[in-house]
Structure 1
């Protein structure tokens, strides 16, 4: 099959990922439309605020040029109800001096002659003196807007005083000026009536007019300058959060990991996201400027279009780089919103600081300004400030494109220009993007994979070499150490040992077997625990990485100069194998010392309970997780080499344990995407996609989104993805989970046909699936390969023996039912007695139509004559059919798992509680079959009693007790008391508990359990 490579493949992958981003945006078009039109929403908010502010000042001349102000008549005393926040009952005014008749006359004249409205007596309150007024005002706040105090000095002199509440208040956006609303009317009224009283003419004309000072128009309030920066930052943060969420979502759902396993270049991945987000940023910035011009903001109309556009574009581009960088630290997409809001708050605060003139002035050090400018909202806020100042009045013309590198004529303390800000935003974008790639490599991903902090200094990284020099490491406060090489352990099983010797012999002799697709050479995987360094601390090891480590550095407080030199020498110049030989590390071994060949045109099935290490082996082979020790060659390429793994990922197809799919993409689009990533030629992709869909019976659902698929359909799609592009190695991790029996059989046929020309590695919990599909089977338990071989060999070696199914004639007697039942019973009893007499076995299962016997392996020599005689007596026993076969693969699996649990329990001292039917509780090791009950010796049972314990696997694959036999006497050669006492002493940490005695099966061969 023709495939592309090199730069052509890079471009092809980039195009496919760009199309994927476009499809996802289109499928989620409501969110995309909201993202694109968010500038319109925020611009409309700015426009609404601007209109509201202008409406508030529409009745004032503050923003108007007034060369000849008009005359205004003097205002009358308003009703007290007009005052904001007045309390009822209220008074228009209060006065003092009511004991003087002349003063009383003046006040009555004020009330009667008030222009436009006579003040009733109930709205005026009098007092004898000023002190009484003050006392009343204090006791009755907000009941009166003002007070008049009159004093008659002589017949020609009357003095008055004015007392008003001078507090400015606001209500529903309107301000109340107490001077013009209440003080001035009271003052004019008092002076008018005092003058008339003194001259004795009540009709004396007293006309006072008001006129404001002539003044030019004050520069109008700029909404864009004041509230615009906050909304412009909100526009960028809206895109920022969505960009970060998109990246984190693909990482969280392991979608990127799935593409990487299929051969995706990191450069294609980052380039596709960069171009896509740059396009969204370009569109958003363009709409910001166009919407600003549409709403007729002077900020956008008077400054050159390109000047404003590049401010917004480069700022949002820099924020995109920051989003890429921060996504490396975030593992949950839900956290992106929190991070985005936090950055918005910080940006808002720094904007307020910048509007106050800090720190872009010559009074602040240049070093501080440089540090301040690394945060993109800061230079952006300064750019908005400069552009706003350039259009602060209607006579200003803004900043021209040719003048972008110059300071304004009135900006004496200018230290940064628009052009400088362009350079800063572009430089910070490059910085954040480079840091995004760097942190993406050195921060452990979900599988614990990371590179060295100095990986970019290693020439092998750039040249794609690495070989066997890969080391694991972690960072701590004292040093970095590698996991010690695993010691070789000789396998207990002869077949596993033979497989190991075969691989080693091929390596030693340099034999290249053309039939071997995958050769695993002592592969091991451990996860770290705590390391006692022996200098000043205990290290907590981090998860490993999968690239060559070139150098290490850390900080350790030591006191001797020689120690410092030795530390730097070992860390920077030498291999860590020779560093600190006294390091003690506790590690978790997932699997160890694995030696095995996977041959072409064959399916190797890897079985084992949960936690056995199967998936970890697959992760090591596919590059998800680095191996701690050993190596594996896949078609000659090493998994320990960066170039080797790059080549391997082009050759393999993977069906992961859990479906990794985009809910918004259809099955057809998934296959097209992965076919493109694998490098298939564009002309062949459609035909291959349709063929793959037909093979997994998804043709009718090809256009349906994967999110609408059932669990079985998703598994079929994952299987199809793993086979796309004719991979030479196919890894299937539980591929038929969730499928109905008919579909499962069909997928089995697909897998069987896929063997031709490739090697297949299968893991499954279905023993039937393993039995039907596998050419060879390996069973792992507790991180070790316990056995290997064909299904027949494993059954013959690890099964309990042979299964004999005896079927009887059911309807050959034409008599009454009672007679038939009697005859059937006779036949059954005769057959059971025959098996008992010749083979000493009892039925395992029995019903009216058949009986099943389990025949131990040690009876194999008797079977030929036994079954010959049984066939001769078929008619006598009423036998219709005799079937003989090996025990099931499930029984082999359980035996292996049980033995591993026994070994682990013996090593760890793990015990479980067996509750007998009598209510007694006995502590026994996991997997123990024959258990003696201590302190049960009696006259009837001088040696005590024992039971056979039955085991099964729970949903997690761990062994658990399913039941036990009835109590039977312990054979005479077995003693319980001394063993029980010893065991009880060893487990003294559990006072009062009874510990069962493990009895070897060879000692109870004559015991019959029921």
Structure 2
């Protein structure tokens, strides 16, 4: 038996050959993101060249004017809202009615007392006036239709205005209150800025925000948020708000440090003369979350379809029946999909970066790698689990793509709003994130939020320290996906056969089931309430032999079946079906046992139980001394199977098939090469280069011969041949019979066939199986003697002579029975004990003298006659 490592190597070598033959398909799959992002990069450059998104302006010469802040319009200034829990310290919404809402500045830092002290110096209460405009802070609304100017103070006097020189001339500014609001950390500020600008039903704009971080009287470190989105098509340099916004905090710090009289005057700002330019645009935001979710999920239906295809074609079952364990198969399959998906995501990230998309360039690549790695493992394990549900590759493919596009729609039009809605319970959001596609959407949403904020502020996006913040959603997404990945992986392992979910009491049961003692030569086999009366002496002897062998230690019989039964449950309105009813059989080494029976008799169910495809309802069997119920994996390693269908890979050659299955039988080196050549020679596939042709080019007969060679390679102790000669020409059939006769010298073979000639030529014993039970057992000659003690006499005459022929036969034997009649041709069964062949010849000679005999024949009973007679009588008695 090949160990785990040898099985893994055998499967890996086979898969490498298989996937090398499908290299183009694999490359097309992996390079799908490359094509998309090359298109995106080209589109980005094209739109930039055409200036579709950019804002164009000229600055041929420096201009001067009073530096201005960019102040939100009165109807958009931040007020208290239920969607932002931190906004309770803001004014009520009613201030928007009369336009009295203050301009809000958010502040935070590690030292609240210091931060509030410095920020309190930004606006003057008394010094700003008509005669002292240097101490004033001026601003303009970003609603260009108003062209309204303000000066900011901590408290405003009624109807207090100040004239100010602007680029348009002297304008009158109104007093506007500046209100400071403390926040716990920069994440709260980030969320409030984003929610107020994008996520709520109405705009809730902040003037500016400052993070003083670790600043103190000896060290000044400030992080600034400012608005750069005026609606004007022209943006003069003196209206760029960053200079004025920074000047406010610099002066505030200087006054805290040196006294209230100190001020750094900021008179104007100018730019160097330059040519026309385009404003930078975040193209990743325009593509959106939905696009990225769709691209990443594209590989999921491919994986699911591939798994179900191998299940539908029974290729995995074929490998398992020849000794491949569950662990090597699922390990290699998992690693292959992981490799393909990883290369897919590497192309996704690399070419997304080359396309200049900020979600890749601004966020930490290590965080992105961990996020994508966990998610692709989650998708693969989910595909493994779902593959157990489907039996058709087409159904799995349709389901997979419906799932992808359904997730695309749900994420873009439903889940997106739930993420933005702070009133939606977080618990239910976590429940929705248990769906892998939505957890992907949520994680991408976090990456987008960080990259957009970083793009606006010219800073870095998501970093590992960002995950420590309590408001970070990425941390929860990573935890949910990791747990779900492990759970899906364990469930898949159990469902696909890696572990056995048995009753707790099963550990106390003996692994060797011993049959009850028999009572008499005439047995009654009772299984699950069904009583089968056995009258045939040969069947009685077989049951007694099985009873004796099971109680005898160290038996040499490779196959022993004891009261094996299979009952299919009621389904779709049909009653339960007992396919096999208490079958007992022992097959010795060197014996070929023929299992004959009409369609639906239960032969396939019996073979399926013996090969481990289905579990018996009751009873048991032993193959090579191993229990069918508990040691099936060990049985597979010493078993060869040729199923009714040719379960082969079209892109592998015949030699490659045999090399793979030979390695599963622990053949190596020269022994493997010799065994492969012998197997190919025995089925006439070594000549003419057929061994090195791809199986897809084989004819049906060549595929059948290769399937037989696979079943015999590696010297298995037990071989099951299910209608092996189907589709073979007479010469190939004769070669097959010779190969089976040669192979059965040290093997136990069970063969099913509808060819009585094949059964008579190959089988040492035959059992005719009808309605789930044996009706007779014995060698071909014994069965013909026992069930065919008659001659078959046939005579063809003119129709008017039919009565003379019938009288002639009755004179030969009064017990003769007419079995066939049509247009003067009659067939009779004549008991051998009633007549001799010489009497028959004399009677025919006499008949020829009296009337015209066109043709006549007398033959011994064939195995086909026995089969028809036994099957017909058994079905008649059952009905």
**1:248–1:332 Cα contact (<8 Å) kept:** yes
Cα distance in 2, alignment partners of residues 15 and 399 from structure 1: 44
Superposed displacement of residue 63, structure 1 = 9.1
Matched, 1:860 2:833: yes
Alignment of 1:300-699 (within 5 A): 300-349=360-409, 351-352=411-412, 358-359=418-419, 365-391=425-451, 392-393=454-455, 396-399=458-461, 403-407=463-467, 414-417=471-474, 421-441=477-497, 454-455=501-502, 460=507, 468=513, 485-507=528-550, 510=552, 513-514=555-556, 516-529=557-570, 587-641=576-630, 643=631, 645-681=632-668, 684-699=671-686
Corresponding residue of 2:83: none
Note the alpha carbon deviations across 1:754-806, whole angstroms, 9 max, x for none.
11111110000001101111100000112221111011111112126135899
Q: CA RMSD in A?
A: 4.5
CA–CA separation in structure 2 for the residues paired with 1:63 and 1:256: 66
The offset of 1:59, in angstroms, is: 8.1
Mapped to 2, the partners of 1:625 and 1:684 lie a distance apart of 33
* Superposed displacement of residue 423, structure 1: 4.2
Q: How does 1:108-257 map to 2 (within 5 A)?
A: 213-214=236-237, 215-216=239-240, 220-257=280-317
Instruction: Note the residue ranges of structure 2 that are not aligned, 5 or more in a row.
Output: 65-232, 242-277, 516-525, 796-803, 851-855
Counterpart mapping for 1:994-1009 below 5 A: none
Match of 1:795 among 784, 796, 800: 784
Instruction: Give the alignment partner of residue 34 of structure 2, picking from 35, 40, 59.
Output: 40
Cα offset, 1:32, TM superposition:
1.2
Q: Distance in 2 between matches of 1:657 and 1:527?
A: 21
- Structure 1 residues 517 and 383 mapped into 2: Cα distance closer, same or farther (>3 Å)? closer
CA offsets 1:256-307 (integer angstroms, 9 cap, x no match) = 1111222221111110111111111221122222212332334333434333
Question: Is 768-777 or 423-432 further displaced after alignment?
Answer: 423-432
What is aligned with 1:1007?
A: none
CA distance in 1, matches of 2:680, 2:490: 40
CA contact under 8 A between 1:354 and 1:381: conserved in structure 2?
Answer: no
Partner SS for 2:645: coil
Aligned residue for 1:719, secondary structure, equals helix
- Native 8 Å contact 2:725 2:733 kept in 1: yes
Q: CA deviation at 1:608?
A: 0.4
What is the TM-score of this pair, normalised by structure 1?
A: 0.58
Please tell me whether the aligned partners of residues 65 and 216 of structure 1 are also in contact (alpha carbons under 8 angstroms): no
CA distance in 2, matches of 1:393, 1:506: 81
Deviation at 1:385, TM superposition (A): 3.4
Greater relative contact order: 1 or 2 (C-alpha under 8 angstroms, separation 6 or more)? Answer: 2
CA contact (8 A) 2:568 2:577 kept: yes
In structure 2, do the counterparts of structure 1 residues 328 and 506 end up closer, same or farther at CA, with 3 Å as the change threshold? closer
Q: Distance in 2 between matches of 1:13 and 1:602?
A: 30
Once the two structures are TM-superposed, the CA of residue 10 in structure 1 deviates from its matched residue by 1.4
Q: 1:629 and 1:385, CA in 2 relative to 1: closer, same or farther beyond 3 A?
A: closer
Distance 1:436 1:620 in 2: 24
Alpha-carbon separation, structure 2, partners of 1:365 and 1:67: 55
Return closer, same or farther for 1:354/1:518 CA change in 2, 3 Å cut-off: same
Q: 1:11-62: CA deviations, max 9, x gaps?
A: 2222332333333333223321210101102212432443455356458536
SS in 1 for 2:786: helix
Deviation at 1:743, TM superposition (A): 0.6
Q: Provide the residue aligned with 1:730 in structure 2.
A: 719
Q: Tell me the CA shift for residue 359 of structure 1.
A: 3.3
2:58 and 2:318 map into 1 onto residues whose CA distance is 67
User: Which residue of the partner structure matches residue 963 of structure 1?
Assistant: none
Match of 2:8 among 14, 19, 29: 14
CA contact (8 A) 2:685 2:691 kept: yes
Deviations 1:518-552 (A, max 9, x none): 1221111111127xxxxxxxxx99xxxxxxxxxxx
Shift of 1:439: 3.6
Deviation at 1:355, TM superposition (A): 8.7
State the Cα distance separating 1:68 from its structure 2 match.
5.8
Aligned-residue offset at 1:370: 3.0
Distance 2:761 2:552 in 1: 34
Q: Aligned in 2, Cα 1:52/1:372: closer, same or farther, shift over 3 Å?
A: farther
Say if 2:323 is the partner of 1:259: no
Matching residue of 2:871: 897
Q: Secondary structure at the match of 1:755?
A: helix
Once the two structures are overlaid, the 10-residue window that deviates more, 210-219 or 794-803, is 210-219
| Structure 1: runs of 5 or more not aligned | 71-209, 443-450, 471-482, 531-539, 542-584, 807-829, 906-1010
